[in-house]
Structure 1
Amino acid sequence: MRCAQFRTALSARLDGEPTGLPGSRLDRHVARCAGCRAWLERAGQLRGRVRASAADGPSEEWSARLLNGLGTQGLGGGQAPDGPEPAER
């Protein structure tokens, strides 16, 4: 199984959704895979920032504040938790 599949399951776990994999299998993979451990940490941080921003209450500027925060404190130069964005064509 590839890391992308584990990361999809980890994302589902973070969201409280069914992962499609046993929790013990996810835990073993994260324990062995430094890349997925780092991804999970960044995804958890992002989730926390999104929740904190949403807790401030709805406003017209909520999206702008969130995007601004991600742009300046994001995931390492604008990368998604699972790696760089694909090149534009």
Structure 2
Amino acid sequence: MRCAQFRTALSARLDGEPSGLPEVRLDKHVARCTGCRDWLARAQRLRAQVRTGTADGPSPEWSARLLVRLGEDRTGEQPPGPR
């Protein structure tokens, strides 16, 4: 079995879904495989960041500047015609 299949199962487990593999087999693979162990640690950190809202993402200021450049302001109004 390839690591990609184990990582899919680990992802499912993190999401609270059935992994499709016996838990013992999955745990044994992670214990032996440095790549999957590192992948799991990164996935767990990312999941924690997303759940706590600390994941890096665009700041409100960056988002506002982008909207202005796209022709909208934060209220949804269109700016005056072309410059």
- Classify the TM-score, shorter chain: 0.5 to 0.7
Decide which structure has the larger Cα Rg and report it.
2
RMSD: 2.0
Shift of 1:67: 2.7
Taking structure 2 as the reference length, what is the TM-score of the superposition?
0.66
Match of 1:25 in 2: 25
2:57 to 62, 67, 73: 67
Q: Flag the structure with more relative contact order, 1 or 2, with Cα contacts below 8 A and sequence separation at least 6.
A: 1
Taking structure 1 as the reference length, what is the TM-score of the superposition?
0.61
Long gaps (5+) in structure 2 = 60-83
Long gaps (5+) in structure 1 = 55-64, 70-89
**Residue type at the aligned position of 2:31:** A
**Residue type at the aligned position of 1:5:** Q
Q: 1:68 to 1:35 in 2, by over 3 A?
A: farther
Match of 1:42 in 2: 42
Identity of aligned residues (%): 68
Q: Distance in 2 between matches of 1:66 and 1:18?
A: 29
